[in-house]
Amino acid sequence: MAYGEGDTSFQTAGGDLGLRQLSDAFYDHMLREPQAQKILTMHPEDLEQSRDKLARFLCGWLGGPSRYNEKYGRINIPAAHRHLDVGDAEREAWLLCMAKAIDEQPYPGEFKTYLLDQLAVPAQAVQRVSQRRQNEEAEQGQSMDNDAS
């Protein structure tokens, strides 16, 4: 079975334990990478819940059990991150940390490439909704400025 079909991706990533290891490696890189400092400030100081949420989200997203939904309820990734200021630099920093974390895992090379390519899709979606919100806020601010004139 190909990646993205059934639970193949979930199993290839090592199941629950493997995805927790990926999540921990991702946040460890976020703590170390200078480019990731801005996105690090978008998280709570204690990253334990963030680590848990990412691992649980990835379980269901990769075709395994819906662990995120079991504990935290439904999630729409772009909508959940809409309030954050995410531009090109933030998206690229997130993907850098994820690429480094994926590279450390004992995954087959083709799965590493597949996974990072797939994760770029929600990263781009988060950036789009963030920029849309920022544009709407800027337009509202201009409208209010015009009304005050």
Task: Domain of residue 121: give its range.
Answer: 8-148
Residue 15 inside a domain? The answer is yes
Residue 44 inside a domain? The answer is yes
30, 73, 76, 90, 134 from 128: Cα distances, Å: 22, 24, 14, 12, 10
Number of structural domains (the chain) is: 1
pTM equals 0.91
- Residue position matching structure tokens 């895992």: 105
pLDDT, residue 80, reads: 92
- Tens-digit pLDDT profile for the chain (149 aa)? 899 999 999 999 999 999 999 999 999 999 999 999 999 999 999 999 999 999 999 999 999 999 999 999 999 999 999 999 999 999 999 999 999 999 999 999 999 999 999 999 999 999 999 999 999 998 888 777 676 65
Residue 37 inside a domain? The answer is yes
Q: How many CB atoms lie within 10 A of CB 41?
A: 8
Residue 23 inside a domain? The answer is yes
CATH of the domain at 66: 1.10.490.10
Does residue 63 contact residue 10 with C-beta atoms inside 8 Å? yes
Residue 106 inside a domain? The answer is yes
